[in-house]
Amino acid sequence: MMEVQLISFGALTDITGSGVLGFAIPRPAISVAELMSLLFVRYPALEGKTFRIAVNERFVDEKFTIGLGDNVALMPPFSGG
């Protein structure tokens, strides 16, 4: 097991219970799709919510590999002005 830093914003923080927390993953590297599956098990209320995943401050797709020391952010929709 290893841990990545999970950061959430907006209403997603209400679901995860914290803006920043450690999140255990089962292997030294997993895909974003695998991480999403783990998140839905731990936080079922995330299913059906609209959000994107950013790793180390960059939006990534489901095939991207997350590894040791990465910072993972759950980003809800937002608008700027």
Does any domain span residue 24?
Answer: yes
Reply yes or no on whether the pLDDT at 80 is more than 80. no
SS3 of the chain: the string is CEEEEEEECCHHHHHHCCCEEEEEECCCEEEHHHHHHHHHHHCHHHCCCCCEEEECCEECCCCCEEECCCEEEEECCCCCC
Structural domain containing residue 64: 2-75
Does any domain span residue 54?
Answer: yes
Closest listed residue to residue 25, CA positions, set 15, 37, 14, 13: 37
Does any domain span residue 80?
Answer: no
Decide if 71 contacts 4 (C-beta within 8 A): yes
pLDDT value, residue 69: 84
Distance, in Å, from the CA atom of 67 to the CA atom of 49, rounded to the nearest integer, reads 24
CATH of the domain at 36: 3.10.20.30
Reply yes or no on whether the pLDDT at 81 is more than 60. no
Tens digit of pLDDT for each residue in 17-71? 999 998 888 888 999 999 999 999 999 999 999 999 999 999 999 999 999 889 9
Predicted TM-score of the model (pTM): 0.88
Tens digit of pLDDT for each residue in 2-15? 888 999 999 999 99
Does any domain span residue 66?
Answer: yes
Does any domain span residue 81?
Answer: no
When divided into structural domains, the chain yields a total of 1
